[in-house]
Chains A and B, each alone.
Chain A
Amino acid sequence: MAAPPALTVSGLTVRFGGLTAVGSVSLDVPGGGRIGIIGPNGAGKSTLFHAITGRVRLTAGRIAVDGRDVTRWSMSRRAASGVVQTFQNIQLLPSLPVLENVMVGGHLRATYPAVLGFFGLPQVRRSERNLAAQARALMRRLELLPLERRRVSELPYAMQKRVEVARALMVMPRILFLDEPATGMNDYEKSFFLEVIRDMQREMGFALVVIEHDVSFLAQLVDYMVAMSFGQIIARGRPEDVIASPQVVESYMG
């Protein structure tokens, strides 16, 4: 029997009052797969992400990670199972420096009981040193190292997006969800980001699910694409086919 997909979403529905934001969406994400999600504003893409990662409660449906039902799990518990996302509206810790913002992603891998954090015991210091080293390694890859001590609130938007990605990678995700990672980036930043995220994905082996409006950027990053409109999946398949499909063209025009 084949291994279950890294993520199985079946019949996922989210209603806000009378409005159906996501209507019975089903989607499998294979381990190490790369999936892109496109669709006009309000199509329910971010809501789908939030329902999968646990930020938004789903009205109906089932979510499984490696065959394990996580539908009723809290957001933090799902993160612990490897479901990690970045946000369309960046969610950083604005008062803290870049290093701490990335290190917080290693929270679950700090091996000591939290209470010991009050006392500077050797095991705490050792664990913190390891986390800082891992955070710096990621920051080097994302060219954030020179900004280590800067508060994230002082950074330009594109840099803040990189910090958020570094933090998400620090969690060591099983499935990483990026919500519009290229927004606000210039062409140089986009190509840099594309290269880093591809390399990191190959090395760390996580599955990648990306929402992005820049379709040509997305097509270079993923090998499978899903188009959404009005909370439904209207097309899925190879990126070039999905982009060219009449339903997708119509949803963007119409």
Chain B
Amino acid sequence: MSKRVAWLVVGAALIAVFPWGVGSYVDYVACLALTYSLITVSLNWVMGYAGQITLGQGGFFAVGAYVATCAVAHYGWALPAAIVLSAVATGVLGLLLGVPALRLQGHYLALTTLFFSLAVPEVIMALPSLTGGSNGINMPGTATLFGLHLSNLRAAFYVLVVLLVAIILVDRTMLKSKLGRAFMAIRDSETAAASVGIPIAVYKIMAFTASGVVAGLAGGLYAPIAGYLNPATFDLWLSIYFFAALIVGGLGNVYGAVIGGIIVIALPQLFSQVQNVSNILFGGILVVVLLALPGGIADWPRLGTGVRWLRRPR
């Protein structure tokens, strides 16, 4: 038994007992944090690996949540099928959102995807017969995932942990394939990528599509956990939080993405007593983290260089 296995066992045991050791409010926050981690991991595929700036992740999340809820509430779909439908829908949207990335870069691409995230709640508001408009919509309490009621937060916690671990494994596997290499080649040098025959357009669209699928899955799972959806939940802030989570956690690092997703949920909880200034405090902390660790929290082995940089600004 190596040290690594021992750590894995200890970690797994801690995660397994976690929902039993805390109150239901913390359980809810933990489920939210895991959902955010999933979405930040998916964002990392587009931004961290393929190097395309996007603010569209909040839009995918919203569409995923609403598609699952509408499929169950209006059309009587079984929850697993509804969640698959969410992933397919956001995959298609990801594919479409990838198309501008073929012509646009940097700020222009960010702006295009930002408008996507802005448009989604507007569209939800514009379709009240389907989405409930500003009144919101309820996920029927009868919906179960293979017998599990996800409104039971302990069950939801375990489902999310399993999905997150699975996606992390997919992430690690992908990086060791031609797919991961092609993404990173496009990020580092499109010229280099093209010079070895990588069809850049195809891979950019694949990154957006895969990212959309995972964010949609997360949205589909979030719907029964929350039980109620309201367009106000899915404003532009959401996309900015995912973006911030990835930058703070560490662009291009799956564990950084996981940590970032947890932090953007957990940190504001600490200042819940001071609601009106929580975003200011949050922003301040982000700035300090990024000054100390320009590569994000996943870059912690280089903390020394960041701290030196703080002491003597160049």
Contact = CB atoms under 8 A, between A and B. Distances in A.
Interface of A: 53-55, 74-77, 79-80, 84-85, 87, 91-96, 100, 103-108, 110, 112, 114-120, 124, 128, 131, 167-168, 170-171
22 contacts: A55-B195, A74-B194, A75-B194, A76-B195, A79-B194, A79-B196, A80-B197, A84-B196, A87-B191, A92-B188, A104-B181, A104-B185, A104-B196, A104-B198, A108-B196, A114-B177, A117-B179, A118-B173, A118-B179, A128-B178, A167-B192, A167-B196
B262 to A, nearest CB: 24
From B177, B189, B199, B202, name the one whose CB has the most chain A CB atoms within 10 angstroms: B177
Given A87-B191, A93-B192, A119-B173, A76 B181 contact: no
Contact of B174 (A87, A112, A118): A118
Nearest to A131: B178
A96 B185 CA distance: 9
B103 to A, nearest CB: 14
Nearest to B199: A76
B195 A79 contact: yes
Interface residues of chain B: helix, strand, loop or mixed (majority): helix
Nearest to B206: A114
Contacts of A119: 170, 173
B251 to A, nearest CB: 11
B228 interface: no
Interface string B168-183: 0010011011111110
A93 B185 contact: yes
Nearest to B188: A93
B210 interface: yes
Contacts of A92: 188-189, 192
B198 A95 contact: no
A91 B195 contact: yes
From B179, B194, B195, B199, name the one whose CB has the most chain A CB atoms within 10 angstroms: B195
Contacts of B197: 76-77, 79-80, 107-108, 171
A179 to B, nearest CB: 11
Given A92-B188, A93-B185, A107-B181, A120 B173 contact: yes
A174 B117 CA distance: 46
Contacts of B177: 110, 114, 116-118, 124, 128
B184 interface: yes
B188 A95 contact: yes
Contact of B170 (A84, A91, A118): A118
A95 B189 CA distance: 11
B179 A93 contact: no
Contacts of B202: 114
Contact of A84 (B180, B185, B195): B195
A92 B174 CA distance: 20
Contacts of A105: 196
Interface residues of chain A: helix, strand, loop or mixed (majority): helix
A114 B178 contact: yes
Contacts of B189: 91-93
A110 B194 CA distance: 16
Nearest to B167: A118
Contact of A171 (B176, B188, B196, B210): B196
B241 to A, nearest CB: 26
Given A84-B196, A108-B196, 14 more contacts: A54-B194, A55-B191, A74-B199, A75-B195, A76-B197, A76-B198, A79-B194, A87-B191, A93-B188, A93-B192, A107-B182, A114-B177, A118-B210, A168-B196
Contacts of A79: 194-197
B29 interface: no
B194 A85 contact: no
A54 B193 CA distance: 13
Give 7 closest A-B pairs by Cβ, nearest first. Answer: A117-B179, A117-B177, A79-B197, A75-B194, A93-B188, A110-B178, A91-B192
Contacts of B300: none
A92 B187 CA distance: 11
A162 B178 CA distance: 22
A72 B173 CA distance: 36
B196 A55 contact: no
Interface in B147-185: 170, 173-174, 176-182, 184-185
Contact of A107 (B170, B178, B188): B178
A117 B174 contact: yes
A244 to B, nearest CB: 35
Interface in B194-232: 194-200, 202-203, 206, 210
Nearest to A74: B194
Contacts of B176: 128
B184 A96 contact: yes
A55 B195 CA distance: 8
A28 to B, nearest CB: 23
B44 to A, nearest CB: 14
B252 interface: yes
A52 B179 CA distance: 27
Nearest to B176: A128
A124 B172 CA distance: 14
A175 to B, nearest CB: 13
A95 B173 contact: no
A91 B191 contact: yes
